Each structure stands twice: as C-alpha cells, then as structure tokens.
Chain A
C-alpha cells in the first residue's frame, strides 16, 4: 500500500481526485486501518492529511471556532476554551475508543466513516456545526447532518474532503451535552446516542435548541421536533418527557447484535432527556 503525506489542501485534493477510489484519505486511521486489517477495504494508497495546517489546527476568531477535521480527540480536550464553550462536542469526541485511540482519532474521520453510531456526529449536529468541504470544484459549506447519506456513504464528491468544522462562539446562557448508552463504560460502540445544545433566557426558558440522535437510523438524525417542544418552556418535568417521546418517535433503528430496535427506540428518549437536563444545567438553568 502506498502512503503519501501531503502538506497542502491542493495537493490532497489533486491526489485524491487523480486516483479516485484507489486512494483513501487518512486522518487518525483508527477506522481505516482496522477495516483494512479486517479485509473490508483494500486501497492502493492512503493520503495522510494530518500535515495540512487547516486540518490540523483549532482557530478561534470573531466568527467562532474553526476545528480542523484531523485534530485528534486528545487535542480537542487540551484546547483552552473549546471544552468550556462546547463541552458536549468535546466529550462526544473523547468517548471514541481508548486513551491510545484518542491520540489519533478525529471528528473528520468519525464523520466521513459515516457510521450511524458515530459519537461525535449527534453532538456536532446539536451544536449546529457546519462542514467546510474542499474538492476539485472548490470550497462549499454544509451542515453536518447533510454529510452522511447512508451507512458508509457520504455526500462528498470524488476528490472532496472535509477541511474543518465551524462552530459559533456560544452565548452566555448556552450549554450542550452528549450521552450514549453502551453496555460497558468505555471502548464500545453506541447502542444509542443523543446530543443536545440549548440556550436559556434569564427566566430559565429555552430560547433555542437543537438535538442530534445517533444509532437509531441509517444516519445520525437531527430531531426537528425538539425546537417546538422546548422553546419557550422550562427544561424540566413533562417537557423532558415530551422530548423523550419525540426522540423515540423519530427513531427508526434496526435489530442487531448490539441491541433490539425496541430497546433503541426506548432508550434514545432517555438519553435525549438526560442530555437535555445536563445541557440546561450547563446553560445555568
């Protein structure tokens, strides 16, 4: 297998589009190498993106955060403000794998692997993150929830890659959280996951919210009903039960060896409710 480490976006795009399908982009490699070892993929070569500055850095400016797609979970955790502003996003990314995996695994890789159970994706959907994509026909921006089309499939054009995620600098009374259910306590794949981001006003009433759900459909979902349920109300009691019911209603999971569909429907509501409680607490509610 060929390995090439590129230093610029142009080089990466050129390389990936020239040998489309034969060369795969490599960030942390924690999915790619495992899949190759298992014989599920056999690329002719990999293009290592970690040395491209835009993919490897976290930048904070007046527009908010630009988080490089190849930044590792460990680096996300070490950033001085990202974890305070978007604790749910950072926690979700840091749930992936073990301590060793955290030194490699990235949110860009987690998204483009296109697993319905990807932990960072529901949190990014909840946070309203936008993806900056770069490809042969230039740059475009899409919401995270539009990237994954089906298990293992993204909307990326041939040669296109995710360069960075854009996250706003959150206001003062905002909070986010991500929770997943796994039978173990770590090093496992989400049976279900739920990310919630919300904003409260001075009276503790919700003014904005977004909810992302994982492992309950062929792709991670945005729960569109969440806004109607939460906005203008306190994040407590029956409101949370309504949110849980809406999350369960939106879920259309499958039975597999990790859980039954019935269990996933049930528990995704519990995760959404609990994540909303944590997010509200973080928002000062």
Chain B
C-alpha cells in the first residue's frame, strides 16, 4: 500500500448505525426479550468449593404452585464421557457440559447443581430454597501452590496431565513447551541476566450486561434462542452439541451485547433454558444476577510466571526462558498456551523457551479475557525489560527498539513476521511529547510494549442491493466495538456511495452463513474481507447490467465512484447505482451476493503505552495522572472506534494492575461478587487516555486492517508497574498494587534495615 490511496469514507468518523438505539435505550439486550407464555428460570448453585453430590430432592420445589419444571444434571445427556476417558479425562465438550450443570460433583462455589422454571422470578427463587441437596464436602485447592503440593486434593482424581508422559493423576491439566535455539547457550553469551517471579490474581472481564437468554421450544423439536453473546453461531453449536440436537433445528437470534471481552464466548444458561423449556412446554427466560456473574461465569484466574532474560552489555537480547503456571479453574483450559506464545513475541530472541502448565483448582471455569494470557506474560517480560534497561543505563524505549521484532524476525511462537509495526509504534512513543514531559515529586513514568496475534477464522457475509439504491449488509458477528460502522464504511468506500445508504444487520443463524465469534479482534479484518468480497461481486453484477443496457462486452465496463462507466469514460452517460438498482428486475433480477471465507494473513498487532503515576507515600494510593496509548492499527477504518478500543483496553489493564482481584475466603467463596468491592476503575479514576494510531498497513487486507481490540490490554500492567518503580524505586512483582500492599512495601524500603 505504498501508493497512498485517497479514501472518501475510510478513516472518517461517521455516527455508528446502532448509536441512536443505544443512547435512547431502545436497543434490545439479552434481558429485553419476552414471550407471552414465558417462565423464569433460576439456578441453584453449590455452597461448597468442592463436594460430592449424594442426592438432590426436588419434590417439594416441583410441588410449589407456579413451578413448571425442575431439573438437575441428571436431566442433561451424558454424551462425552467415553471420549473424555480416552483422553485422560480431558475433553472440551465434556468440560463444558459439566460446567453448565454439575453431575456427581460440585467443583467450585457457585457451580450450578439444579434449576427451576416458574411463573415468576420470585417463585423460582422460593422453589430453589425447597430443593434439598445432600453434599459430602471434599477438601479443596484454591491456588497453584496448593494444587501442586504433594498430597494435594485432586479436583479430578481421574485426570492425568496432557503433555507429560507417564504421569499419574494430578491437578495439572496440561503441559506445553515452545521455543527455538538453545537458551543455555544464549545465557552463556549474556553479560547481564535477570531472573524474577511474578504473580497475578483472578480478575473478571467486568462486562456490565449479565448473561441472559430466552428459549422457546416446540413439540417437533425446534429451538429458538434470543441470547446476548459474542457469537450466536457459537451459542447454537454449543447448545445443540450439549443437548444432542440437529443444528438446523436451532435458531439463535443475537441480542445487542453489553460487553463481553472474551467472557461471552461460551454458554452457561442456554442449555439449561432449553432443557427447562422442553420440560415445561413453555418458553423460559434466564438472567444471571451480578453475583452469579462473578461466582459462576468466566474469570481469568491467577498466574505465576518465572522468567529469565539475558542481554549483552550493548543491550542486545541473547536468551529468554519462562515457566508459566496459569490456573484454569475447575476444568483446566487456561490461556497458558497463549501466554507461552506471546511472552517473548515482541522481540528478536536468538534463543527462547517457554514452558506452560495449565492448573486445575476449585474455582469457576476460566474464560477468555481480551488477549487471553498475554497481559500477565507482558507483565513479567516488560518489568524485566525495564530493569535490564535500568541496569544497562539505556533509555527503556531505545533498549526495546534495539531488540524490537520486525519483518523477517523469527517470532518466539514459530513463524517469521511479515510486515509489522512494532518499531514504528516504539518510535512514536519515543517522539511523543508525553515521553519527555517533566514530572513532579512522588511521580514516575513507565513504558511497556505489548503484542497480540489477532485472529482470522471463518466469516460469512451477505450484501443485498435495494431497489432505491441503498444497501443492506448481513454480518454474523455481534457488534461489540462499533463493527457495524466499520463494515458500513468499507461497503460505502467500495461501492462509492453514501455511508448513510448502507445499513448493517447482525443476522441470525438462519439468515447468514456460519461465522465464528466476535473475538480475536477479528471482525473488521475477517468479516470485513468477506463483505468486501461480496460487495465486489455486486459491483461485477452492476457492471454486467450496465453492459447489457449498452449492449457491449462486460469487460469494457468498470465501476468508479458509485457508477458504471464504459471504458472508464463518460460517454454514454455512466449508469449510477440507484438507476441500476431500480431497473434490476428488468435487467436480470435482484442484485445480491454472498461471500464466505476463512480469513488468511491476519496482521499481528503491537501497542506501546506511556503511563505516569503519582504515589501517595503515606497511604500507598496510586493515581494514574497521565496516560498515552500508541498502537499500530494497520489502517483505522473508523478511528474513533480504534481509539475507543485503545482507551478501553488501557482502562481495563489499569484496573487489573491497581485494584481488581477476586477475594476468596478459606472455604473458596468469593467475598466480593459485585462492583462495589470488585473495583473496576470508575471514570474519575483515570485521566483522559491519549491515543496515537500508527498505520503500518497489513498487506493481506484490502484496506490494510489489523485487529485492534485486544492489543491495548497487554501493555498497561507493566506500564503502571514500571511507572510505580520510577516513582518509588520499588519493583512490584505481585498484583494488584492496592494501597495496603504498596504502603507495606514503602515501609519496608524505608525501614532502617533495608538496603
């Protein structure tokens, strides 16, 4: 894309098509749907972190007036036990099925054990109190140390670790190792080596909208679901799979989504709602309370990372080695694989090795959270990079630039990078006025670099030309971050028509082709590619229609600025979109096109953040006083929504660094299942997050798009922690940096005995 094209819409900031409905409150989210015969479903959850379910007595609940159905795990088919047994106990579908509702054992406090459908929410809740569950409480394990201790209680006594030969049952679900070269050789060449250990605590994605759905079933086996998720095809496929229903019989209608951040890429309620609906013959609505969201839906759990990095006196990295332990919750399945792959990814390491362990503990099943696994890994690497720069007395950005990955660098996770914008992003940080602005007392500045792959995956699209010259676009991706706007912009740009003449609809599973979840920062990139392909098909059809009108070969007609032109000229008068659309019935029928693809050539994403903090030496409270996020977006289709992603990711990362954490008591119960004591930042907690969009186009995308949604949560933790070091001289290796912990470390540093 060296020949800079002039765009009419790409890079502009029009109002998003879904904006008015959202600000006026008309947009329909998961809990906004209702049917005349609707019942309310509620879930009974385990009061124990680990317990065998001896019996469940549901008779009294079923007898309560207004109750139409009661179910337990025994009502769900047990379809995957054999497959799981053949794989050492590990099978994703089996895990999902047992997470949706416990069968023989409850594996965490809050694990679903039974459910009720009744004519009102209140009656359903009263019915839950009448269900009598007999538990045999078992000893539990709550963290990595406890899970790996000799003689630790086993979350699943029948499971053996994948990736470790000849091992017996343990709480290790999986071990994996990646890398290249020989780290020992690399460390032998190093002049400086730093080895540190880091830990992070469980955090929640913190989406504002609780999980919610409405299920309708019919006697002939059809299922309709209205559901808020990051992918209605995912909801369809998982629900059908767990309940053994043909996919063609399940239709999922996407609701608007009030935040997901990865946490809505799985199902919790839908299979239960469908089961209750089948049992009762009525439609069933389920909405989690906030407390249920915290106790039973996808956190990203605790991690421990040991890292060792070697560097020459000149500041050239020689080797990196890391051992990562990630809690995956009650079933394993943590993001440790992505942690291993991303931890050394931003730099050229001649020798590198990462070993990951996925650990099972009696906590909720972990779910994806925005760049899953990467922020914790970046915390470890970028804190050590900061310390190395300090030891070598090199500016931290210069140090990173000396080692930054570029086109041709062998990435730590395997391939060689194609064109990437890591260097350009760091240069923009170095040249930004924030980087050299003066600081006051008790203030410090930190920088950090972050990487995320971004995803391609499968996308489908439909483009229908309407007789009035407007265009309807069908996408299969719920719009989380403004994708309707970016898809409409690319459509209008291709066709050369007004942005307002394009409407993008998030179509249900029966109306558009299969599309993978809105995740991996993929929609503008991958679904955008499908839409561009379909739009170009429409443009070809338009040229053919014009050729037919002019009675010339179609090859002589081409599409420019919203009209068909013969030989690129103006004689005969070009035919515009509106005219061709109006006459489509007479020239061959309606004009529409579909496209479906697996997107290739995903653009790797890099972001670097600058953070200034002020630390109160008497209370340990940290204020973030200035923050700048820089990121390579490839090309920003709608810059406001790119900036919005950068700001949102930065704020989530700041929260993770400073105050967010699950507090578990000794019994494994979450003590802070609500936004009062689970402290995501409020607006006044953060300064305006300045943004700088770097554009190094992705050569594989027609407009150069790279994914932008996840990268910005990767740098904030180390940026904050490095800033706190600059302000206090203290390196923090354990999150979060809440006031009491910071004050304790400040006191330690001030005490006479300390170095």
> Is the pair B679, A257 in contact by a Cβ cutoff of 8 Å?
no
Q: What is the CA–CA distance of A185 and B663 in the complex, to the nearest angstrom?
A: 20
Determine whether B676 belongs to the interface, using a CB cutoff of 8 Å to chain A. Answer: yes
Q: How far is the CB of B635 from chain A (nearest CB, A)?
A: 36
A184, A188, A260: the one within 8 Å of B740 (CB): A260
Q: What is the CA–CA distance of A259 and B672 in the complex, to the nearest angstrom?
A: 13
Residue ID in chain A nearest B738 by CB atoms: A183
> Is the pair B743, A266 in contact by a Cβ cutoff of 8 Å?
yes
> Is the pair B676, A270 in contact by a Cβ cutoff of 8 Å?
no
> Is the pair A184, B743 in contact by a Cβ cutoff of 8 Å?
no
> Is the pair B679, A188 in contact by a Cβ cutoff of 8 Å?
yes
Q: List 22 A-B contacts (CB under 8 A).
A: A181-B619, A181-B621, A181-B739, A183-B621, A183-B659, A184-B679, A184-B681, A184-B682, A184-B684, A184-B685, A185-B684, A185-B685, A186-B684, A187-B682, A188-B676, A257-B663, A257-B672, A262-B740, A263-B740, A263-B743, A263-B744, A267-B743
> Is the pair A267, B676 in contact by a Cβ cutoff of 8 Å?
no
Q: What is the CA–CA distance of A64 and B164 in the complex, to the nearest angstrom?
A: 78
Q: In chain B, residues 635-693, which have Cβ atoms closer than 8 Å to a Cβ of chain A?
A: 658-659, 663, 671-672, 676-677, 679, 681-682, 684-685
Q: What is the CA–CA distance of A183 and B621 in the complex, to the nearest angstrom?
A: 7
* Residues in chain B near residue A93, CB distance under 8 A: none
Q: What is the CA–CA distance of A76 and B621 in the complex, to the nearest angstrom?
A: 29
Q: What is the CA–CA distance of A185 and B739 in the complex, to the nearest angstrom?
A: 13
Q: In chain A, residues 161-195, which have Cβ atoms closer than 8 Å to a Cβ of chain B?
A: 181, 183-189, 191
> Is the pair B739, A263 in contact by a Cβ cutoff of 8 Å?
yes
* Residues in chain A near residue B672, CB distance under 8 A: 257
Determine whether B618 belongs to the interface, using a CB cutoff of 8 Å to chain A. Answer: yes
Q: How far is the CB of A130 from chain B (nearest CB, A)?
A: 32
* Residues in chain B near residue A266, CB distance under 8 A: 743
Residue ID in chain A nearest B616 by CB atoms: A270
* A270 with B739, Cβ < 8 A, contacts A184-B679, A186-B682 known: no
Q: What is the CA–CA distance of A186 and B676 in the complex, to the nearest angstrom?
A: 10
Residue ID in chain A nearest B737 by CB atoms: A183
Q: In chain A, residues 204-255, which have Cβ atoms closer than 8 Å to a Cβ of chain B?
A: none
Q: What is the CA–CA distance of A260 and B741 in the complex, to the nearest angstrom?
A: 10
* Residues in chain B near residue A187, CB distance under 8 A: 676, 682
B593-633 to A contact mask, C-beta < 8 Å, 1/0: 00000000000000000000000001101000000000000
Determine whether A7 belongs to the interface, using a CB cutoff of 8 Å to chain B. Answer: no
Q: How far is the CB of A260 from chain B (nearest CB, A)?
A: 6
Q: In chain B, residues 189-226, which have Cβ atoms closer than 8 Å to a Cβ of chain A?
A: none
Q: How far is the CB of A185 from chain B (nearest CB, A)?
A: 4
> Is the pair B682, A183 in contact by a Cβ cutoff of 8 Å?
no
* Residues in chain B near residue A44, CB distance under 8 A: none
Most-contacted residue by chain B among A181, A184, A263, A266 (CB, 10 A): A184
Q: What is the CA–CA distance of A257 and B682 in the complex, to the nearest angstrom?
A: 19
Q: 14 extra interchain contacts, Cβ-Cβ under 8 A, other than A183-B659, A188-B679, A262-B740?
A: A181-B619, A181-B621, A184-B659, A184-B682, A185-B682, A189-B677, A257-B672, A259-B740, A263-B740, A263-B744, A266-B743, A267-B739, A267-B743, A270-B618
> Is the pair A270, B619 in contact by a Cβ cutoff of 8 Å?
yes
Q: Which residues of A pack against B, CB within 8 Å?
A: 181, 183-189, 191, 257-260, 262-263, 266-267, 270
> Is the pair A257, B619 in contact by a Cβ cutoff of 8 Å?
no
B326-353 to A contact mask, C-beta < 8 Å, 1/0: 0000000000000000000000000000
Q: In chain B, residues 204-255, which have Cβ atoms closer than 8 Å to a Cβ of chain A?
A: none
Q: How far is the CB of B651 from chain A (nearest CB, A)?
A: 12
Q: How far is the CB of A178 from chain B (nearest CB, A)?
A: 16
Residue ID in chain B nearest A181 by CB atoms: B619
Q: What is the CA–CA distance of A208 and B621 in the complex, to the nearest angstrom?
A: 31
* Residues in chain B near residue A258, CB distance under 8 A: 677
* Residues in chain A near residue B659, CB distance under 8 A: 183-184
Q: What is the CA–CA distance of A184 and B740 in the complex, to the nearest angstrom?
A: 13
* A189 with B682, Cβ < 8 A, contacts A257-B671, A260-B740, A263-B740 known: no
Q: What is the CA–CA distance of A262 and B743 in the complex, to the nearest angstrom?
A: 11
B719-740 to A contact mask, C-beta < 8 Å, 1/0: 0000000000000000000111
Q: What is the CA–CA distance of A260 and B740 in the complex, to the nearest angstrom?
A: 8
> Is the pair B671, A183 in contact by a Cβ cutoff of 8 Å?
no
* Residues in chain A near residue B618, CB distance under 8 A: 267, 270
Q: What is the CA–CA distance of A266 and B618 in the complex, to the nearest angstrom?
A: 9
B676, B684, B685, B744: the one within 8 Å of A189 (CB): B676
* Residues in chain A near residue B685, CB distance under 8 A: 184-185
* Residues in chain A near residue B663, CB distance under 8 A: 257
Q: What is the CA–CA distance of A65 and B682 in the complex, to the nearest angstrom?
A: 35
* Residues in chain A near residue B682, CB distance under 8 A: 184-187
* Residues in chain B near residue A186, CB distance under 8 A: 682, 684
Residue ID in chain A nearest B623 by CB atoms: A185
Q: How far is the CB of A236 from chain B (nearest CB, A)?
A: 16
> Is the pair A183, B743 in contact by a Cβ cutoff of 8 Å?
no
* Residues in chain B near residue A183, CB distance under 8 A: 621, 658-659, 679, 738-739
Residue ID in chain A nearest B677 by CB atoms: A257
Q: What is the CA–CA distance of A270 and B621 in the complex, to the nearest angstrom?
A: 12
Q: What is the CA–CA distance of A266 and B621 in the complex, to the nearest angstrom?
A: 13
Q: How far is the CB of B78 from chain A (nearest CB, A)?
A: 34
Q: How far is the CB of A181 from chain B (nearest CB, A)?
A: 6
* Residues in chain A near residue B679, CB distance under 8 A: 183-184, 188
Q: What is the CA–CA distance of A181 and B620 in the complex, to the nearest angstrom?
A: 10
Q: How far is the CB of B685 from chain A (nearest CB, A)?
A: 5
Q: What is the CA–CA distance of A55 and B520 in the complex, to the nearest angstrom?
A: 56
* A267 with B619, Cβ < 8 A, contacts A183-B659, A184-B681, A186-B682 known: yes
Which 9 interchain pairs have the tightest Cβ spacing?
A263-B740, A185-B684, A257-B663, A270-B618, A257-B671, A183-B659, A185-B685, A267-B619, A184-B685
Q: How far is the CB of A173 from chain B (nearest CB, A)?
A: 28
Q: What is the CA–CA distance of A181 and B742 in the complex, to the nearest angstrom?
A: 14
* Residues in chain A near residue B619, CB distance under 8 A: 181, 267, 270
Q: What is the CA–CA distance of A36 and B397 in the complex, to the nearest angstrom?
A: 54
Q: What is the CA–CA distance of A260 and B663 in the complex, to the nearest angstrom?
A: 13
Q: How far is the CB of B668 from chain A (nearest CB, A)?
A: 14
> Is the pair A191, B739 in contact by a Cβ cutoff of 8 Å?
yes
Q: What is the CA–CA distance of A187 and B674 in the complex, to the nearest angstrom?
A: 13
Q: How far is the CB of B42 from chain A (nearest CB, A)?
A: 13
Q: How far is the CB of B663 from chain A (nearest CB, A)?
A: 4
Most-contacted residue by chain A among B658, B677, B681 (CB, 10 A): B677
Residue ID in chain B nearest A263 by CB atoms: B740
Q: What is the CA–CA distance of A279 and B179 in the complex, to the nearest angstrom?
A: 61
Most-contacted residue by chain A among B619, B682, B684, B739 (CB, 10 A): B619
Residue ID in chain A nearest B741 by CB atoms: A263
Q: In chain B, residues 347-380, which have Cβ atoms closer than 8 Å to a Cβ of chain A?
A: none
Residue ID in chain B nearest A185 by CB atoms: B684
Q: What is the CA–CA distance of A234 and B743 in the complex, to the nearest angstrom?
A: 29
Q: How far is the CB of B730 from chain A (nearest CB, A)?
A: 17
Most-contacted residue by chain B among A183, A184, A266 (CB, 10 A): A183
Q: How far is the CB of A257 from chain B (nearest CB, A)?
A: 4
Residue ID in chain A nearest B665 by CB atoms: A257
* Residues in chain B near residue A260, CB distance under 8 A: 740
Q: How far is the CB of A7 from chain B (nearest CB, A)?
A: 31
Q: In chain B, residues 497-523, which have Cβ atoms closer than 8 Å to a Cβ of chain A?
A: none
